[in-house]
Structure 1
Amino acid sequence: MSALIETHDLTLRFGDRTVLRDVDFAIRPGEIVTVVGPNGSGKSSLMRALIGGLKPAAGRVTRARGLRVGYVPQKLVLDRTLPMTVRRFLSLPRRVTDEAAREALARAGAAGTGQQQLATLSGGQFQRVLLARALLDRPQLLILDEATAGLDQPGAAAFYRLIEDVRHDTGCAVLMVSHDLHVVMSASDRVICLNGHVCCEGTPQVVSEAPVYRALFGEGTRGALALYRHHHDHHHHGDAQSHDHPQAERHAEQAEA
């Protein structure tokens, strides 16, 4: 199956600093793929490159012809004194019909909020409104850059369940950046770990350990680690890389921390 979007030997730099190097990545129709990694590992930079907001220093990004992408940012800072309803927000910068707005809000779990002021929404409601806005163009690929930042664990879990429902109902692929390993792993078909390059990738697995996670995040993440089997038989620092990608169950059971 052809990729919706893929990168080939992608390298990203800010000035003299290389934030990502030699990244080969692809996402195919219907997949849910999660990108994890420590702060500064290049996760958000990869998302920016995929949507065209950051020019590669080397390598290339290839998109399917006419690809429709919906994007939910990590945060959107609005002036709390700005009088703007949810309905008006959904029509910026391009006006949408009332029917399209109602449908998007309902699909995002925010039905009935159209006439509310943005400033009155809770954090979870606001993220659902951002999701509704991303769904307006019926995307083939939905990209979420730490969209649950600032939500508590139950709120984040509910949001990820909503994303699974959206994928099921619309057939769109989903690419997520997340720190919520214990919540998001079991919702993913594939997980990619970044730390300036692709450290490892594969499908979630029950009661498996990932040494690279312990090295990056500490022993306290063992409960999350149990959701992921790590296949890490490649070399770092510019050497040739190879990955083993066995078939695995799509969903993993929650392991005890």
Structure 2
Amino acid sequence: MTALIASEKLTINRPGTTEPVLRDVDFHIVPGEIVTVVGPNGSGKSSLIRALLGHMPLIAGRIDRRAGLRIGYVPQRVQLDRSIPMTVRRFLSLPRWVGGQVAALALARTGVAGLEARQLTELSGGQFQRVLLARALLHDPHLLVLDEPTQGLDQPGIVAFYQLIEEVRRQTGAAVLMVSHDLLVVMGASDRVICLNGHICCEGTPQYVGNAPEYRALFGADSKGTLALYRHHHDHDHDHDHDPHHDCADHGE
């Protein structure tokens, strides 16, 4: 299956320095796949996302995107000026106007139907995250990119959000690339997990990565238990280009 987006030997520096934040990263994601990137703070998770989206220059390597690729993006942080009134409907029409029926369908798909007239500042954290997801779905993306999408949510809200992501994938067929620190749930919601620490130190199925010594060295000897709270049900197939149970070698720092 042809990758939607792929990188080869991707290397990028920390902004304003000559120090690499990531080096020699080979990455791909195929249609319908849920891939999660995990790693400690400063490991390069968000930098990888920004580079894949074309928001960071490469020092070395290359990125290939499928022709006509449509990407829906939920950023890590959205700063709102609480002094400026803005309804959900208006927010969904930035920067491009969308019809009322399209907006209503996107909100219904993410479980927040009927919020069009609400002010953004009146929404709960969970409602706001679902509105952001609805906005990312407006233009029927092939790939959803979610950078730390559950910040500020409580544990039940986090679980519900990842269940929603799986349902959205089932309904739309979009691939999903997530960056997350929610180890208690996010790995079990994924088809494939990539563990970063300046490079790809471990990659494979959630069960494989959860048992990998590199992963456990980063997150603690008891981290194997982080897969228990929520498990993604693999009732579909993905034609990976390689065996998802490999690629757990330490490439060095």
Q: 1:233 Cα shift?
A: 5.6
| 1:180 alignment partner in structure 2 | 182
Secondary structure of the residue aligned to 2:215 is helix
**Normalization by structure 1: what TM-score?**
0.87
Q: TM-score, normalised by structure 2?
A: 0.89
Q: List runs of 5+ in structure 1 lacking aligned partners.
A: 239-257
- Which deviations, in whole Å up to 9, do the C-alpha atoms of 1:130-186 show, x marking residues without a partner? 000000010000000010011111101100000000000000000001111121112
Report the counterpart of residue 236 of structure 2 in structure 1.
none
Question: AA paired with 1:52?
Answer: G
Residue 92 in 1 paired to residue 94 in 2? yes
Match of 2:116 in 1: 114
Quote the offset at 1:224 in angstroms: 1.5
In structure 2, the partner of 1:241 is none
Structure 1 window deviating more from structure 2 (9-18 vs 193-202): it is: 9-18
Q: Deviations over 1:212-238 (max 9, x none)?
A: 2221122342312678x9856634238
Over the aligned positions, Cα root-mean-square deviation in angstroms equals 1.9
- Per-residue CA deviation, residues 24-76 of structure 1 (Å, 9 max, x unaligned), is 00000000000000000000000001111111111011000000000011120
- After the TM superposition, which segments of 4 or more aligned residues of structure 1 sit over 6 Å from their partners? none
The change in CA–CA distance for 1:21 and 1:86 in structure 2 (over 3 A counts) is same
Q: Which amino acid in the other structure matches residue 140 of structure 2?
A: R
Q: Within 5 Å, which residues of 2 pair with 1:8-157?
A: 8-14=8-14, 15-157=17-159
Between the aligned partners of 1:233 and 1:115, the Cα distance in structure 2 is 49
Give 3-state SS (helix, strand or coil) of 1:191's partner: strand
Q: Hey, what's the Cα distance between the residues in 2 that align with 1:192 and 1:5? A: 15
Q: CA deviation at 1:207?
A: 11
Aligned length: 237
Counterpart code for 1:149: Q
2-side partners of 1:188 and 1:31: how far apart? Answer: 8
- In structure 2, the partner of 1:192 is 194
In structure 2, give the amino acid aligned to 1:205. Q
Amino acid in structure 1 at the alignment position of 2:46? S
CA contact (8 A) 1:209 1:230 kept: no
Structure 2 regions of 5+ residues with no counterpart? 232-243
- Residue of structure 1 equivalent to 2:249: 234
Q: State the one-letter code of the partner of 2:23.
A: R
Q: 1:43 to 1:206 in 2, by over 3 A?
A: closer
Given the alignment of the two structures, is residue 217 of structure 1 paired with residue 219 of structure 2, yes or no?
yes
Q: 1:39 to 1:128 in 2, by over 3 A?
A: same
> Using a 3 Å threshold, how does the CA distance of structure 1 residues 111 and 198 change in structure 2: closer, same or farther?
same
CA contact (8 A) 1:192 1:201 kept: yes
Name the SS of the counterpart of 1:12 in structure 2: strand
**CA separation of 1:82/1:118 partners in 2, compared to 1, >3 Å: closer, same or farther?**
same
- With 132-141 and 210-219 compared, the bigger mean Cα shift is at 210-219
In the TM superposition, residue 187 of structure 1 has moved relative to its aligned partner by 1.3
1:233/1:112 Cα in 2 relative to 1: closer, same or farther (>3 Å)?
closer
2:11 alignment partner, SS class: strand
